[in-house]
Amino acid sequence: MPDFLQNLLTNYYETAAVILFGIGFTTLLMHRNLIKKIVGLNFMDSAVYLFLASKGYIAGRLAPIITDGDSDPSKYVNPIPTGLVLTGIVVSVSVTAFLLALTCRLYDRFHTLDIDEITHLARKERD
Amino acid sequence: MRNDGAFARLVRFVEDGTFQEESFTLSPAEKAALDTDTPENRWLTSVQHSEKPVGARLMSWFADKGFDLFNNLYRIASVFICVTLIGVLLTVVSFLPAFGSADNPAVNEVVERYVSRSIEETGTTNAVAGMISAYRGFDTLGEAHVLFVAACSVIILLRVDPSERKHGRLLNPDLLGEDLDFEPNTDLILRKAAKLLVPLSFIFGLYVILNGTSSPGGGFSGGALMGAGLILSSTAFGFKRTERFFGDEMYHVVKTACLTVYALLMAYFIFMGANGFEDHVWLGVPGGIVSGGLILPINAAVGFEVACTMYCFYALFRKGGL
Amino acid sequence: MELVQNFPFLTIVFSLTCGVFCAVLKARTAKRLCLCWLTLTTVMSLAVLVYTMRTNGYYVYRMGKWNAPWGNEIRVGILEALMASVFSGVMLLSLLGGMHHIFADCEPEKANLYFTMCSLLMSSLFALIYTNDLFTAYVFVEINTIASCALVMLKSSARTLVATTRYLIMSLLGSGLFLLGIVTLYGITGELLMESIAEKVREIFASGAYSLPLTVIIGLFSVGLAVKSALFPFHSWLPDAHGNATASSSAILSGLVLKGYIIVLIKIFYRVFGLDVIVAKQVSQFLFLFGVCAMIFGSVGAIRERDLKRMLAYSSVAQVGYIYVGIGLHSRLGMVAACVQIIAHAITKPMLFIAAGGFIDVSGGHKSMSALTGAGRRDPLGGVAFTVGALSMIGIPFFAGFVTKLHLTQGALESGAATMTVALAAIAVSTLLNALYYVPVIFNIFSGRESGEYKGLRVRWRADYAFSLVCFIALNIGFGSFSRIVVGVIRRGLELFGM
C-alpha cells in the first residue's frame, strides 16, 4: 500500500489526469443536462492530453527546439506527445463545436437541455 | 415569478436545463382559468381524469415508477462504474514508469532521431513541427480534415438561408431572449480596444505561422490567433463590416483552396517519398523563416483554414451563417 | 515500386479532397463527382486486390520519405484490399440505391454536404482498413465518427437530432476510452507503430511486468471500440440512429461504419497484442459472451419492433454479435467466420435498408408494418431484394448469410466443449429468432390484403435504385453460391495478417 501511494505521488501528473478523467466520465454519465455532458467530455479529453503531455516530460531538459545547432537528443524532452496533444486538441475543438451546435438545435426545438426529456418529447412527436 | 435577473436565469439555465417551463406547459392565464372553480372547468378536469381507463392509469403509474426505479438503478450503477474506473486507472498509474525520468520507455530511438536529425532531414529547428508536418504528416492531414468535417456538420445544423435570417440563427423570434439587447452597437471601449488588437492579432498570427518551423507555433496556433482577430473584429464592428472582406464565398474559396493545396502538397511529398524519387524541395535555412521545405506552405494553408473555421463556428452560432 | 502500389494511398488522400470539393459544388455536380470517385476507388481497390493476390503477399507503403517507426506507413495485404474493394463498392451501391431519398430528405442547399460526408467517411474507412499506426487510426476514427453522425442528421427532423446527439455522445465516450488506451500503451511501450508495439508487448508479456496495465489497456480498447460498433450492452444508440436516418445513411452506417471499428479492433488484437496475450488476458471470452448476448437480445429487440427500419437496425445489433462471436472463438476458423460475416453483412444489410426505403416510398412515407402490407407487390424489385436479404439473414443455403453460419459452426465445433455448446445453441436460437421476424415481414409485404389507400400505387422506375438492388442481389447470391473463392482469399489474407 505505501508503495502504491508512493508511486502515485511520483506520477502525480498522471494521477491528476486520471482523477480528472474520472470526474469527466462521471459528469458525462450522471448528468442529464447536455451542456454538462459536453463539459464532462471536455474534461475527459483534457485529462487524456495532460496524461499524454506528462509522458513526454523528462526532468531538467529543454523544449524540443534546437538552439545553437546543438542537436544532442539528451538535452531535449520527447517531442512526440506534444505533437499528439496538438492533434488531440484540434479533434476535441471540432467535436465540441459539433455537440454545441446539436445542443442549440435541440434547445430551439424542445426548450430544454435535459436529454431524457428531449428523448421523451421526440418520441411523442411524429415525423 | 421568474422575472429575476438575466444572470440568475443563465445560472438556472445551465443548472436545470430549462429556461421558462411555463412557456411550453400552460401559460399563467390558462392556468388561472383552469384553477377557477367553474362548473365548466370541473367538468373538463373530471373528463380529463376519467377519460383514461383504470388499467391505462395503472400502467402509466407503473411506467412512471418503473422509470424512477430505472433512473435510480442507473445512477447507482454509474456511480459504481465511475468509482471502479477511477480506482482501476489509479492502480494502473501506480504501475507506470516514473514521471520525468529519462529512462522511461517512451524515450527511444524514434525520439532521438526526431531531435538529432530534424535539421538535416526536415530543415526545421522546431522538432515538434518537423514531427507533425513531415515525419507524421499523414496524421496531420487527417487532423486538418477533422476540423473541416466538423465545420461542415455545424453548417448543416446551424446555417440558415440568408433570406430567412432576420433574427439571427433562430427562426422563431420568441426564443431570441435578450441576446440582441447585448448586441454591441456603439461600445466605445470595445471598439477602441478592437482597433488596437485586431491588427495586432493578425500580425501576431502571421508571425506565429511563419515562424512555426523555428519556434513554438505553426499553422494551428497561428490560425487560431487570426481567427480570434476575425471574431473580435466582428464583435466590435458588427458583422456588416466583416462581411465586406470575409463573406460566404470568401470562406468557401479560402477553405477549399487551403485544404486542396495542403492535400496536394502532402500527396506530392508522400508519393515522391514512397516511390523513392527525389522530391526537389529546397529545405531552406534552418532557423530562418524560409525553412522546413514544404512545412512552411503547409503551415500557411493550415493556418488560413483554421482561421476561417474558427470564424465560421462563431458566425454560425451567432447568426446562422457567414 | 509499381504504380498499383500507390493506389491505397491515393484512394485515402483524394477521397478527402473529393469531399472538400463536394462541399462547394452544387448538389447535382457533387453527386456526380462523388459517384465517379467511388467507382474509381472501387476499381483501384480491386486492382490492388489482384496485385496482392498475384504477388501473393502484402507490402508496406511508407507515407513519406521515412521508414516505419519514424514516418507513418500503411500496410496493404490481401485481406485489406478485399475489405477496401467490398466497402467502396457497397458505399457506391448504397448511395445509388437511396439517391432519390437523399435529395428528398436533405434540405436542397445542403444536399451537397451529404456527398462530402460520404467521401470523408470512405476516406476514413480506407485509412482504418490500411493503417498500421495507432494514432493514425485514432485520427481517422474521429473523422469516421463525425461524418457518420452528420449522415444521420442530414435528414432534418426532431428524431434524427436526438438520435444524433445520443450517437455522438456514446461515440465520443468510446473515442475517449480508445485514446486513453493508446496513450497508456504509448506510456509503457513508447511506440505507436503496430509492429513495434507488438514487439515491445511480447517482451513485456514475457517478462511479466506491467501485467495489470496491459489488461486495462486491452479493456479500454475493447470497450471503446465495442461502444462504437454497438456490441450488446452498448447498443442503445443504434436503433434510433439507424432507424431514423435516410435510406442510404442507414445502409452505410449499418453496412460499413460499424465494421470499420471492428476491423480496427481485430488489428489491435492480432497485430498489436497477439493471440497469446489476448488468450492469457481472457478478453476474448468476454467478447464471446457479449456477442452471444447480442445475437439473442438483438433478435428479441427486432421481434418486438413494429417499425421496419428499426427492426432492421436491431437485426444489425444481432449481426454484429456474430462477428464478435467469431472473434471471441480466438481460433483461425473463428476469425475466418468473423471476416466472412463482415463481408456478408456488408452486402446484405444495405440491400435490406434500401429495399425498405423503396417500400416506404410506395406506402405514403410510413414505416410501420401495417402500412407496408403489400408493399412488395407495389415495388416488386424491392420485394425480391428484401426477400433475398431476409433469406440471407436467416441463413438459407446459397445466400450470403449461410456462409457465415457455416463457418461459425465449423469454428465452434473446433473449440472447447463449453464454448462449442454455447456457440452452437446461440447460432440455432438466433437462426430461429431471425426467421421469426423476417418471415412475417416477407409474408406481409407480399400479402394481397393491401389497405385501399396505397393499393394502386406503383413504384416509379428509377435506374439507380434498380441497378443498386440488382447488383446487391447478384452479389449476395454470388457470394452465397461461390463462397469458396472469397473464403479462400480471406484465408490467405489472414495468414498474412499474422494469424
DSSP-assigned letters across all residues of C299-342: HHHHHH--BHHHHHHHHHHHHHHHHHHHHHT-SHHHHHHHHHHH
Summarize the confidence of residues C213-227 as an average pLDDT: 92
In chain C, the residue whose alpha carbon lies closest to the alpha carbon of B118 is C70
Q: Residue C253 has what DSSP assignment? A: I
Lowest mean pLDDT among B177-186, C244-253, C470-479: B177-186
* B37-46, C137-146, C148-157, C299-308: the lowest-pLDDT one: B37-46
Higher local confidence (pLDDT), C10 or A63:
C10
Nearest Cα of chain B lies from the Cα of A127 at a distance, in angstroms, of: 18
d(C-alpha A76, C-alpha B127), whole Å: 10
Residue A64 resides in a domain: no
Are B199 and B264 members of one domain?
yes
> Could you tell me the three cell numbers for C498?
499474422
Question: Residue B272 burial by CB count (10 A; 0-12/13-18/19+): exposed, middle or buried?
Answer: middle
Percent of chain B with pLDDT over 90: 23
Chain C contact set for B272 (CB, 8 A): 65
Contacts of C341 (CB under 8 A, 6+ apart): C319, C322, C323, C326, C404, C408
Q: Do B110 and C69 touch (CB under 8 A)?
A: yes
Residue at a domain's end among B43, B75, B92:
B92
pLDDT at B38 over 60: no
pLDDT at site C57: 80
pLDDT at C45: 94
Residue B220 CA to residue C126 CA, distance in Å, equals: 26
Please tell me the predicted confidence (pLDDT) of residue B180.
52
Let me know if residue A14 belongs to a domain.
yes
- The number of CA neighbours under 13 Å toward the Cβ of C370 is 1
Distance from CA of C227 to the nearest CA of A (A): 14
Q: What separation, in Å, do the N-terminal and C-terminal C-alpha atoms of chain A show?
A: 58
Which of B224 and B28 is assigned the larger pLDDT? B224
Answer yes or no: is A62 within a domain.
no
Grid coordinates representing C440?
A: 412475417
Distance CA(B276)–CA(C391), nearest Å, equals 51
Q: Do A71 and B119 touch (CB under 8 A)?
A: yes
For residue B206, being part of any structural domain is answered with: yes
Res B26: pLDDT? 44
Comparing CB atoms, the residue among B94, B116, B157 nearest residue A105 is: B157
pLDDT at residue C457 is higher than 80 = no
**Alpha carbons C451 and C437: distance in angstroms, whole number:** 22
In this prediction, residues C267-293 reach a mean pLDDT of 87
Residues B233 and B84 in one domain: no
The pLDDT score that the predictor gives to residue B206 is 93
pLDDT recorded at residue B183: 59
The confidence band for C22, taking pLDDT boundaries of 50, 70 and 90, is very high
Residue B110 CB coordination number (10 Å): 22
From the list C10, C117, C139, the residue facing B146 with the nearest CB is C139
In C, minimum Cα distance to A45 occurs at C176
B221 against C275, higher pLDDT: B221
**What percentage of chain C reaches a pLDDT higher than 90?**
46
The yes-or-no verdict on residue B34 having pLDDT over 80 is no
Q: Is the pLDDT of residue C498 over 60?
A: yes
| β-bridge partners, B126 | A65
Host domain of residue A79: 2-57+73-124
C282 sits in the region (left: phi over 0; alpha: psi -120 to 50; else beta) called left
Query: Does the distance separating the beta carbons of A106 and C179 come in below 8 Å?
Result: no
pLDDT tens digits, one per residue of C69-111: 888 888 898 999 999 999 999 999 999 998 888 898 888 888 8
Radius of gyration for the alpha carbons in chain A, expressed in angstroms and rounded: 21
> Are C165 and A34 an interchain contact pair (Cβ–Cβ within 8 Å)?
yes
Whether B149 and B223 share a structural domain: yes
**Chains within contact range of chain B (3+ C-beta pairs < 8 Å):** A, C
Structural domain boundaries enclosing C339:
282-499
- The answer to whether residue C187 neighbours chain A at the CB level (below 8 Å) is yes
Please give the mean pLDDT across all residues of chain C: 89
Count how many domains chain B has. Answer: 2
Whole-angstrom distance between the N-terminal and C-terminal Cα of chain C?
Answer: 27
Among chain A residues, CA nearest to C187 = A55
Residue-averaged pLDDT of chain B: 77
Question: Of the candidates B75, B92, B109, which is a domain's last residue?
Answer: B92
Is the residue at B100 inside a domain? no
Residues 6 or more apart whose Cβ sits within 8 Å of residue C29: C112
Q: Is there a single domain that holds both residue B275 and residue B160?
A: yes
Tell whether A50 is within 8 A of chain C (Cβ): no
DSSP class of residue B133? Answer: I
Residue B99, chain A, CB below 8 Å: the answer is yes
pLDDT at A109 over 50: yes
pLDDT above 60 for C167: yes
What is the number of structural domains in chain C?
Answer: 1
- Residue from C37, C138, C139 whose CB has the most chain B CBs within 10 Å, to mutate: C139
> Which value does ipTM take for this structure?
0.94
Look at A22 and B85 and tell me if their CB atoms are within 8 Å. Answer: yes
Asked whether residue B105 is domain-assigned, the answer is no
User: Would residue B183 count as lying in a domain?
Assistant: yes
Calculate how close chain A gets to B253, using CA atoms only, in Å. Answer: 20
Q: Specify if B117 maps to a domain.
A: no
The better pLDDT of the pair B89, B57 is held by: B89
pLDDT confidence bin for B259, thresholds 50/70/90: very high
B153 contacts in chain C (CB < 8 Å): 146, 149-150, 153
Task: Supply the CATH number for residue A100's domain.
Answer: 1.10.287.3510
The domain of B270 spans 126-319
Last residue of a domain, one of B92, B109, B144: B92
How far apart are alpha carbons C231 and C369 in whole angstroms?
Answer: 26
Q: What average pLDDT does range A2-12 have in this prediction?
A: 84
Provide the number of structural domains found in chain A: 1
Give the distance from residue B157's alpha carbon to the nearest chain A alpha carbon, in angstroms.
6
Q: What is the mean pLDDT of residues B216-224?
A: 89
Helix (H, G, I), strand (E, B) or coil at B96: coil
Give residue C168's pLDDT. 92
Is there a domain that residue C247 lies in?
Answer: no
pLDDT digits (tens, 9 = 90+) for C349-406: 999 999 999 888 888 778 888 888 888 888 889 899 999 999 999 988 889 889 989 9
Q: Inter-chain contact A94–C153, Cβ cutoff 8 Å?
A: no
Could you tell me if residue B66 is inside a domain? yes
Neighbours of B63 (CB within 10 A): 10
Percentage helix, strand, coil for chain B under 3-state DSSP, each rounded to 5 = 75, 0, 25
Residue A67 belongs to some domain of the structure: no
Q: What is the mean pLDDT of residues C318-330?
A: 90
Mark yes or no for CB contact A102/C183 under 8 Å. Answer: no
Q: Which chain B residues in 178-197 lie under 8 Å from chain A, judged by CB atoms?
A: none
The grid coordinates of residue C468 equal 443498386
Q: pLDDT band at residue B59, thresholds of 50, 70 and 90?
A: low
Residue B110: per-residue pLDDT: 83
Q: Do the domain assignments include residue A8?
A: yes
Same domain for B19 and B139 = no
Looking at the domain assignment, is residue C277 inside a domain? no
Report the pLDDT value the prediction gives residue C499, as an integer from 0 to 100: 59
Residue of C105, C151, C169, C360 to mutate, interface with A, max A Cβ within 10 Å: C169
- B232 in reach of chain A (CB within 8 A): no
Chain A contact for B2 (CB, 8 A cutoff): no
Residue C416 pLDDT: 81
Is the Cβ of A35 closer than 8 Å to some Cβ of chain C? no
Average pLDDT over residues B56-84: 75
Task: Give residue-wise pLDDT tens across range C238-275.
Answer: 988 888 899 999 999 999 999 999 999 998 988 888 88
**Per-residue pLDDT tens over the stretch B260-286:** 999 999 999 888 888 888 878 888 787
Of C146, C153, C184, Cβ closest to residue B146: C146
- The answer to whether the beta carbons of residues C489 and C71 sit under 8 Å apart is no
